[in-house]
Amino acid sequence: MAAASSATTVWEGDLATGSGVATPQSGAFGATDVSWASRTQRAAGKTSPEELLAAAHSSCYCMQLSHELAEAGTPPASLEATATVEFVPGEGVTSSRIVVTGRVPGIDQAAFAAAAASAGDGCPISGALSVPISVEATLES
């Protein structure tokens, strides 16, 4: 059964000087201000579509990695992943880089790195992106 998620953005003005407000249907977080300046100049207090994509990618990735580790018999105690989505004006989103740190009892660095790479390929958001995705994994003791 498919699950649908949605958000609505209301935009006012042109691209360069306008701004909008993005609101998730779920209400899980409040309305979020977005602007072109936040994409290219990192304007304080506003987000960008790429930052929202990075949040989606890092959370999806953690879910996928936790699933793969549990399926292998080594569920994680904790995972922390940061996704950095690169945006180039005129080209669009060009890459996503995930840096993950995990505490996983009963596993070594090589096995963690292999699971982390697999999750980078298996995460549904990764599958929706048509850009290179890199993963850097560190196992904490």
How many other C-beta atoms lie within 10 A of the C-beta of residue 71? 10
Whether pTM exceeds 0.95? no
Looking at the chain, the number of H-run helices and the number of E-run strands are 4, 6
Amino acid at residue number 103 = R
- For residues 61 and 83, the answer to whether their CB atoms sit within 8 Å is yes
Q: Which fold has domain 50-140?
A: GMP Synthetase; Chain A, domain 3 (3.30.300)
List per-residue pLDDT tens for the chain, 141 residues long.
888 899 999 999 888 888 999 999 999 999 999 998 888 886 668 899 999 999 999 999 999 999 999 999 999 999 999 999 999 999 999 999 999 999 999 999 999 999 999 999 999 999 999 999 999 999 998
Query: What ranges do the domains of the chain cover?
Result: 7-40, 50-140
Q: Using the CB atoms, write b or e for 36-65: b if 16+ within 10 Å.
A: bbbbeeebeebbbbbbbbbebbbebbbbbb
What is the DSSP code string of 78-103? EEEEEEEEEEETTTEEEEEEEEEEEE
